[in-house]
Structure 1
Amino acid sequence: MKKLILAIILLGITFVNAQDRYSKGMEKAFELWQNQKTIEASNMFERIATAEPDNWLPYYYVAQLNTVTSFGEKDEDKLSKQLEKAKEFLDVAKAISPNNPELLIQEALINTAWIAFDGATYGMTLSPKNAQLYQRAVELAPNNPRVILSKAEWDMGSARYFGKDVTPYCKDVEKALELFATFKSETPFYPTWGKQRAEGILENCGK
């Protein structure tokens, strides 16, 4: 009986230590990202992902970081490597956490990075996919502020492309801001981005 109790205690200590390493690693990765050390941050998230094969979050952040840094990139070879890496890690995250609205948004952002780079080549094929991804995300999580904001941004971009008024989508951005005030997740390091972006969009919305 004593051996069993000791084994349970040791298992508990090991779990706590592993969680502590995970938290410190994630905090360090975010710190690197905040300090514009994107390659180092991506590498840190990758190492955490290797150590946490059942946790979708570090895979998600590798995908997100490589996607965000791809916007504005002019070198096609560099862009391709970043977005292929983003898609590779996103696919793993989706296998770990199917039907995750945050991952659907991330997939749409990867597509958007390709469209932003070369709309003539990628717009026709990826735009319909994005519309489906955002619709699916809304069905899964109608009260997720990032879902509402991301879909509104996509709809605004589409409206501008076709020369239409974006004002009808301002109400969606307003809704997203309201949701940011109440949305909470008990999962550590769950995505929190979007509020400042929504505020900036709303400030100039319809002008």
Structure 2
Amino acid sequence: MKKYLLSFALAFMSISAFAQADYEKIMTEKIAKLETCKSAEDFQVLVNDFHRIAGKEESKWQPYYYTAFSFIQKGRVMMREGKMDELDNIAGQAQKYLDAAQSVDPKDNAEIHLLKKMSYSLRMMVNPQQRYMTDGTKAAEELKIAEKLDPENPRIALIKAEDTYFTPEQYGGSKTKGIEMFKQALAKFNAYTPKTSLDPNWGKSEAEYFINQPAK
């Protein structure tokens, strides 16, 4: 009987290890695609992919996180294209998945708070003058939380650099200062190691892109 139970336990462990390896392989492939997506449609494909993974891996926060991140990246593409009418819905969908990620990983997670900041910023951009004191304030609060939790996180430095770069000078922004901040973010990227292979590691190429842009 003991031999049977041991064999069953070993078989179960083997199946679990195989499932985990398969999960990590699929996630790694999908995460890599985030770097090559260009259009809103590309990011929607990843939204669907990560959503399906999240449905099967309900105890893991990363699939929810990457679903939200794909939504946010889709929204940022649409914002650059001037398609503002869908940003509220996109930000709302991202928030839903961030809430799910936070329920799975209830301890304070700087990466989740940073995406919440980005989600609120998307909402604000629908009407910056009207929403600066509401969504803009919430975005600033989430960024402050993220920075307090993980001050050396390069993605936090990256988003702060973005905010400075794209804010008009009359409101305190500066492309020259923004580029210097992108350089600081890049230095943090070069010194930063994610906790696991599936934890967020995006943003370095964006910092490099802006560093190579001339200040105007």
TM range (shorter): 0.7 to 0.9
The answer on whether the counterparts of 2:155 and 2:185 sit within 8 Å (CA) in structure 1 is yes
Q: CA deviation at 1:89?
A: 0.4
* Contact 1:155/1:169 (<8 A) preserved: yes
Structure 1, unmatched stretches of 5+, are none
Aligned length: 206
Asked if the contact 2:113/2:143 (under 8 Å) is kept, the reply is yes
d(CA) in 2 for partners of 1:141, 1:12: 35
SS of the residue corresponding to residue 134 of structure 1 reads helix
Q: Which residue of 2 aligns with 1:20?
A: 21
Structure 2 partner of 1:109: 118
Question: Residues 67 and 109 of structure 1 are in contact (CA less than 8 Å); yes or no, is this contact kept in structure 2?
Answer: yes
Q: How much does 1:63 deviate?
A: 0.5
Residue 205 (structure 2) pairs with residue 196 (structure 1): yes
Q: CA deviation at 1:95?
A: 1.8
Q: Which residue of 1 aligns with 2:3?
A: 2
Q: Structure 1 residues 100 and 31, CA, compared in 2 at 3 Å: closer, same or farther?
A: closer
* Root-mean-square deviation (Å): 2.5
Is the partner of 1:188 in helix, strand or coil?
coil
Q: Give the direction of change, closer, same or farther, for the CA distance of 1:20–1:176 in structure 2 (3 Å limit).
A: same
Q: How does 1:1-207 map to 2 (within 5 A)?
A: 1-30=2-31, 34=36, 37-71=42-76, 72=79, 74=83, 76=85, 78-97=86-105, 98-158=107-167, 160=169, 162-165=171-174, 167-168=176-177, 170-204=179-213, 207=216
* Preserved CA contact (<8 Å) 1:32 1:40: no
Instruction: Kindly state the Cα deviation for residue 60 of structure 1 after the two structures are TM-superposed.
Output: 0.7
Could you report, residue by residue, the CA deviation over 1:71-102 in whole angstroms, capped at 9, with x for unpaired residues?
226262x3333222111001111222231111
Residue type matched to 1:116 in 2? Answer: M
TM norm structure 1? 0.85
How many Å apart are 1:149 and its aligned residue?
A: 1.6
Please state how far the C-alpha of 1:61 moved relative to its aligned partner. 0.8
Bigger Cα displacement from structure 2, 168-177 vs 59-68: 168-177
Contact 1:74–1:117 under 8 Å retained in 2: no
> With structure 2 as the length reference, what TM-score do the two structures score?
0.82
Secondary structure of the corresponding residue to residue 75 of structure 2: coil
Matching residue's letter, 1:188: S
C-alpha displacement of 1:3? 2.3
Task: Indicate the percent of aligned positions where both proteins have the same amino acid.
Answer: 26
Distance 1:175 1:200 in 2: 14
Amino acid at match of 2:104: I
My pick for the range that moved more, 173-182 or 86-95, is 173-182
